[in-house]
Amino acid sequence: MSEIREELKYTQDHEWIAADGSIGTVGITDFAQESLGDVTFVELPEVGTTYNKGDAFGVVESVKAASDLYMPVSGTISEVNSSLESAPESLNTDPYGEGWLVKIEMSEPGQAEELLSPNAYKGLI
């Protein structure tokens, strides 16, 4: 059974976001990492890149396939998890912790609130 954390918001594309003021931390869900299987490579954007909600901002690659990552909210990348370059397996072992992908300065922080609640996401998977 995949873990779903109560304090997070979710997208239909299986990303999660943790909002802290105007900063959101984004990752993929436990369900997503289980479906992908062993993650072998993560391609992340440069700090300072601006995205609209729903834009593809990176790629996560597993033995099986490469999949796009989608922005849950609009904003500008303020930090990327560069440890994933050498340890992409963190996405499998700790998707809500060490496997976080990017932090984003949200241009419309209200967008995070509109995302799926843990219960709604649970109904999706």
Partner 1 sequence: MSDLKSIPLQSFYEQKGARFVDFAGWNMPVQFTSIIKEHEAVRKRVGLFDVSHMGEIIVTGEGSIDYLNYLLTNDFTNLAPGNSKYTMMCYEDGGVVDDLIVYALEPHKYLLCVNASNCDKDFAWMQQHATNFEVDLSNVSEDYALLALQGPMAAEFLLPLQQSTLDDLGRFAHIETELAGVEVILSRTGYTGEDGFEIYIPANTAESVLNALDERAQELELEDFYCGLGCRDSLRLEAGYPLYGHEIDSEIDPIRAGLGWTVKLNKADDFRGKSSLSDLKTSYPRKVVHFYKIEDRRIARQGESVYQGDSVVGRVLSGTYSPITGGAIGSLILDDVSTTPEGLTVELRGKSLDLKITRPPLHLTK
43 lies in the site for partner 1, by CB under 8 A: yes
CB contact set of 97 (below 8 Å; sequence gap of 6+): none
Least separation, in Å, of the C-beta of 81 and partner 1? Answer: 15
61 lies in the site for partner 1, by CB under 8 A: yes
Q: Which of 125, 115, 121, 120 is nearest to 17 (CA)?
A: 115
37 lies in the site for partner 1, by CB under 8 A: yes
Please identify, among the stretches 6-14, 44-52, 88-96, 114-122, the one whose residues bind partner 1 according to the rule CB under 8 A: 88-96
Count Cβ atoms within 10 A of the Cβ of residue 89 and give its class: 0-12 exposed, 13-18 middle, 19 or more buried. middle
38 lies in the site for partner 1, by CB under 8 A: yes
Residues 125, 30: contact at Cβ < 8 Å? Answer: no
Sites of contact with partner 1 (CB under 8 A): 37-38, 40-41, 43, 59, 61, 63-64, 66, 88-89, 92
